[in-house]
Structure 1
Amino acid sequence: MKRVLGSWLMVGVLGGCAPQALISDVEPALVQSFEAPPPGSDPNSCWGKDVSPAVIETVRERILVQPAEILGDGTVVSEPIYREDTRQAIVKERRELWFQTPCQDQLTPDIIATLQRALKARGLYSGALTGRMDAGTRAAIRRFQSKQGLDSSILSLWAARQLGLVAVARS
């Protein structure tokens, strides 16, 4: 267990993944590894999980109860009668997305500094090259990955490969 902002956080471990180090003294740590990988996956790999909550909105509809009564000459005898209907509607379904990540033991300070340098070269990171996975680095990771449809600040294996941090096996 690690102490984070006055509360205790349990960090799950998966296969060869080491428990995640404290990311920042100011922000809670992100949990990147889980006790069980997604079904059918390599049990020795590390996984991240992005959960997007459902978006629910209050929808108000005006429903015609009784149409207007209009004479043949166009004279309105009675106005239409409407009722207001208010209900909750799911605008966007909850989404749970598992994705492969580099394991924590691979994210050394040198690799994180290289990650920061790669994100800075793309104009996504403006902080110092500290080698720490801080809030600015996570925000830059989110900006890089969101362009490809993954709105997460957890570094995916795909993004690590695109940024030149992880070798890609040749076939």
Structure 2
Amino acid sequence: MLALSITLAACAKTGPRQEVTRADFGDEQIITDFTMGPPGARPGACYGKDVTPATVEQVTEHRLVEEAKIAENGNIITPAKYETVTEARIVEGREQIYFETPCPPRWTPEFIASIQRALTARGLYADYPHGELDEATRQAIRTFQISEGLNSAILSTESARKLGLVEIDLS
């Protein structure tokens, strides 16, 4: 099994005040520069950026290739010929989604172990809480969030609140 870990790297400067930091999860990213986040992004907030998968359905159709030949008395001389065609059709395309996520300074081994313990308590994570953001942890995060309507392996701030891992903003 391929273990994945967060790799943080400074990508670019947005000016003298801030570095852009991203954690790369393939199509998924954590973005700390609000100017690269969604429209209306809050300054100081971090965002998860993910791409939802396309929804594809397989459609099988029987298409008429040749009409039946029928005699004048109504008897079938040659039956109709059909072909079976199966096609993949995109029902919903891929879509970029953004959501708030805890910022990278919080992603310490202790925080990740807390995520693992919280997911273990809910029966979603079976490994020992070791503090590494591996594939099993990411899959458990995704499983938890799917039930909340978010299909991503990046922990959203809302999910972190529901797991009891971050403070609730009362303002």
TM-score by length of 2: 0.72
Distance 2:170 2:128 in 1: 34
Which residue of structure 2 lines up, in the alignment, with residue 105 of structure 1? 105
* Change in CA separation of 1:59 and 1:91 when aligned onto 2, cut-off 3 Å: same
- Structure 1 vs Structure 2: percent identity of aligned residues? 41
- CA deviations on 1:125-155 (whole Å, 9 max, x unpaired) are 1222222222222121111111122221111
* Change in CA separation of 1:17 and 1:99 when aligned onto 2, cut-off 3 Å: farther
Q: Which structure is higher in strand share?
A: 2
Secondary structure of the corresponding residue to residue 32 of structure 1: strand
Whether contact under 8 Å (2:23, 2:29) holds in the other structure is no
TM-score by length of 1: 0.72
Letter in 1 for 2:29: V
Distance 2:170 2:8 in 1: 39
Letter in 2 for 1:166: V
Which residue of structure 2 lines up, in the alignment, with residue 32 of structure 1? 30
Whether contact under 8 Å (1:17, 1:45) holds in the other structure is no
State the Cα distance separating 1:9 from its structure 2 match: 8.8
- CA deviations on 1:18-48 (whole Å, 9 max, x unpaired) are 74679xxxx98x6322650111221321111
Deviates more, 1:83-92 or 1:99-108: 83-92
Gaps of 5+ in 1: none
Q: CA RMSD in A?
A: 3.6
Distance 2:38 2:169 in 1: 23
Q: How many residues align?
A: 160
Secondary structure of the corresponding residue to residue 111 of structure 1: helix
Letter in 1 for 2:30: Q
Gaps of 5+ in 2: none
State the Cα distance separating 1:61 from its structure 2 match: 3.5
